[in-house]
Amino acid sequence: MTVPSDTSGVPLIDLQAQWATIGQEVLQAIERVAASQQLILGPEVQALEEELAAFIGCSHAIGVSSGTDALLLALIALDIQAGDEVVTTPFTFFSTGGSIARLGARPVFVDIQPDTFNLDPDPLAAAITSRTRAILPVHLFGQIAEMDPIQQIARDRNLPVIEDAAQAIGADYHGRSAGTCGDIGCFSFYPTKNLGGLGDGGLVTTDRSDLNERLRLLRNHGFRPKYHAREVGGNFRLDALQAAALRVKLQYLDRWNRARADNADVYRRLLRDAQLSSDRVTPGKVVVPVEPADRRHIYHQFVIRVTADQRDPLRAWLADRGIGTEIYYPVPLHLQECFAGLGYRAGDFPVAEAAAAQSLALPIYPELTVAMQQRVVEAIAGFFATGS
């Protein structure tokens, strides 16, 4: 394939473009913290926690070492132990299920909704047993799961809800923001997330003061006072240098989230104008993400669906033209090798399995231009025009 010389590529994400706009400000903040030599937790992390609590609208925000550790800490704080069951979605990043299994607990999966990719509340009640200790919905791709019915089921069974909001900072649903719907919210500051640090980082949120106390205790070896361990926690601490970078970037987050949503609208319009969009998965067409009126999507990813036959060839076609895409996620959790012992089989969760075979994430980062999006859509049109 020859690449037309008048078009350049479009990466899936371009963090250098973001750095060009904020790098100086971030470096100044880092210099300030480096000069203070207060490098672990301390005033910088506390300031970030206060600013994030205000942004998210929660009573308590606790900075931690990663999104995975946020999940682990949340599960430990809720006393999830070996043999317990936690109900979650199979269509998510690995660590949602991995954190449950890490504690010796059993991830119990229920299928997703085809339009939002999020946990389907309909089969949820039937998955709850006498061993269930928590429900863990994921707000995938930046859109909040169907929390009203999920929380109704949780209330009826007296179960806590942990939100995996790693991809959804700033999203909302019925006036509540991600991380404030359940008992505990978990966020990630992995560099490619909508709010990303210069390395790993994460956050746990809660409105419950009992959980706030416990989460803070467990974050630092259960020490209270220092070197006196009340219970076994761990090192789940956030670095002050990460907090300094995140505090700068937090000031831009709302703008960036809106730019992503605007880019999503542009894709919808361009795909519709090119007569490429469809409401159902069918050859030669693209299904675009839905955005129900009752929630705000922050487009951590813009994930289209095409037929399973066309997905990988389309991805290769776009790669040949310098257009970056990714498959989130190719293997649903119930089919991961490490979970073979759970006894799930292909066919158990057909909606999640179809999503894994049909979905493709297009570039959606805030700095993307309309011209770049046009190139993406033209390339998709070119693929379908070859009759591939």
- Binding residues for ligand PLP, per CB under 6 A? 66-68, 92-93, 95-96, 138, 164, 166-167, 188, 190, 200, 202
Taking 3-state DSSP, the helix, strand and coil percentages for the chain, each rounded to the nearest 5, stand at 45, 15, 40
Q: Residue of minimal CB distance from ligand PLP?
A: 67
Q: Residue 36 in 3-state DSSP?
A: helix
**Cα separations in angstroms, 80 against 83, 94, 134, 208, 338:** 9, 18, 8, 17, 20
Q: Rounded to the nearest whole angstrom, what is the least distance from the CB of residue 202 to ligand PLP in the complex?
A: 5
Alpha helices in 103-184 (DSSP H): 124-127, 147-157
Q: Rounded to the nearest whole angstrom, what is the least distance from the CB of residue 136 to ligand PLP in the complex?
A: 10
For residue 321, the 8-state DSSP code is T
Query: Nearest-CA neighbor of 299 among 375, 189, 177, 194?
Result: 194
Can you tell me the distance from the alpha carbon of 184 to that of 74, in angstroms, rounded to the nearest whole number? 7
Assigned token pair, 300 = 């951590």
- Which residue's CB is nearer to ligand PLP, number 18 or number 95? 95
Query: Nearest-CA neighbor of 71 among 88, 50, 84?
Result: 88
- Which residue's CB is nearer to ligand PLP, number 190 or number 384? 190
Residues 6+ apart with CB under 8 A from 144: 118, 168, 171, 172, 173, 178, 181, 295
- Which residue's CB is nearer to ligand PLP, number 145 or number 287? 145
- Which residue's CB is nearer to ligand PLP, number 138 or number 271? 138
What b/e readout covers 234-254, taking b as 16+ CB neighbours within 10 angstroms? eebbbbbbbbbbbbbbbebbe
Q: Rounded to the nearest whole angstrom, what is the least distance from the CB of residue 92 to ligand PLP in the complex?
A: 5
Q: Rounded to the nearest whole angstrom, what is the least distance from the CB of residue 382 to ligand PLP in the complex?
A: 31
- Which residue's CB is nearer to ligand PLP, number 70 or number 240? 70
- Which residue's CB is nearer to ligand PLP, number 88 or number 325? 88
CB 128, CB 153: distance < 8 Å = yes
Residues 6+ apart with CB under 8 A from 249: 22, 26, 195, 196, 197
> Which residue type does 342 have?
L
Can you tell me the distance from the alpha carbon of 200 to that of 156, in angstroms, rounded to the nearest whole number? 37
Can you tell me the distance from the alpha carbon of 18 to that of 73, in angstroms, rounded to the nearest whole number? 31
- Tell me which residue has tokens 């209330």: 155
Strands (E), 126-234: 132-136, 162-164, 172-173, 176-177, 184-188, 202-206
- Which residue's CB is nearer to ligand PLP, number 328 or number 383? 328
- Which residue's CB is nearer to ligand PLP, number 121 or number 137? 137
- Which residue's CB is nearer to ligand PLP, number 66 or number 359? 66
Q: Rounded to the nearest whole angstrom, what is the least distance from the CB of residue 86 to ligand PLP in the complex?
A: 14
- Which residue's CB is nearer to ligand PLP, number 99 or number 310? 99
